[in-house]
């Protein structure tokens, strides 16, 4: 296990379609984050898991977005009825579960293009 | 909600000049982290600061955490072309114990003129 893995790396979809992304965190990392990044902007927080528990979801996130981490390992992010404004890089990160070291390790991201 | 701002948004420097980016949070932070993102890449962790007034150095990079734990800075001495990228600060709210959401700043994009 060499890092956080995200699939697919690229996704092109038609407006109105549903898409699902997968993130495999570093083994034994209990925290998992989803971020969205558009060109020239910083990563925008979407949601965060501690093991299988979803602790927070951004208020900016519409009900079309949902995330799961059913067994506390990999996570999926689903976007329903995609819109052109959803086009962005979706980043997943994981971190260890002890307070003294909360460095986040990022995956390569999934670039979503909605046409 | 918590907001983390960085200035400047862009910085162009001649190779060999110094560079500084400043980070300001609307709320008190339990810790501040710095990340570097190369063009086309993903954010990569540089360092974490925890204590009020803490200063840490990594070769030509100096990181500082403010006394009030609401601001931070990153200073690069004698920039090199390998320093090109966008530098982000990211903080966790002190008041949000147990829910350690990491909020990223707006970033400072550094370009180097050879």
Quote the mean pLDDT of chain A. 91
Residues of A in contact with B107 (CB under 8 A): 41-42
Neighbour tally for A52: CB within 10 Å: 14
The C-alpha of A3 sits at a distance from chain B's nearest C-alpha, in angstroms, of: 12
Q: Give the model confidence (pLDDT) of B40-62 as tens digits.
A: 899 999 999 999 999 999 999 99
Those residues with Cβ within 8 angstroms of residue A89's Cβ, 6 or more apart along the chain or in another chain: A36, A37, A38, A109, A110, A111, A112
Kindly state the tokens that stand for A36: 């969205």
pLDDT level of residue A94 (50, 70, 90 thresholds): very high
Instruction: Determine what percent of chain A is predicted with pLDDT higher than 70.
Output: 96
Q: Which residues of A touch B (CB under 8 A)?
A: 31, 33, 35, 40-45, 48, 55-56, 59, 91, 93, 99-109
pLDDT level of residue A28 (50, 70, 90 thresholds): confident
- Give the model's pLDDT for residue A59: 83
Q: Which pairing describes strands A75-79 and A88-95: parallel, antiparallel, or unpaired? A: unpaired
- Give the model's pLDDT for residue B95: 67
- Give the model's pLDDT for residue A101: 61
Cβ–Cβ under 8 Å, residues A53 and A63: no
């Amino acid at each position: 296990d060499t890092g956080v893995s995200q699939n697919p790396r690229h996704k092109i979809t038609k407006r109105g379609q549903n898409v699902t992304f997968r993130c495999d965190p570093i083994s034994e990392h209990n925290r998992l984050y989803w971020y969205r990044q558009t060109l020239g902007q910083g990563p925008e927080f979407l949601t965060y898991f501690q093991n299988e528990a979803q602790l927070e979801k951004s208020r900016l996130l519409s009900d079309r977005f949902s995330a799961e981490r059913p067994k506390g390992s990999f996570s999926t992010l689903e976007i329903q009825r995609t819109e052109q404004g959803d086009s962005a890089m979706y980043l997943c990160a994981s971190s260890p579960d002890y307070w003294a070291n909360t460095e986040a390790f990022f995956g390569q991201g999934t670039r979503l293009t909605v046409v | 909600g918590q907001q983390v701002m960085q200035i400047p948004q862009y910085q162009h420097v001649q190779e060999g000049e110094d560079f500084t980016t400043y980070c300001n949070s609307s709320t008190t932070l339990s810790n501040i982290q710095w990340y570097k993102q190369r063009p086309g890449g993903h954010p990569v962790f540089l360092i974490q600061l925890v204590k009020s007034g803490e200063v840490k150095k990594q070769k030509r990079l100096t990181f500082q955490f403010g006394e009030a734990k609401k601001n931070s800075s990153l200073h690069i001495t004698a920039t090199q072309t390998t320093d090109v990228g966008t530098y982000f600060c990211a903080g966790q709210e002190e008041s949000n114990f147990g829910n350690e959401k990491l909020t990223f700043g707006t970033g400072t994009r550094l370009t180097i003129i050879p």
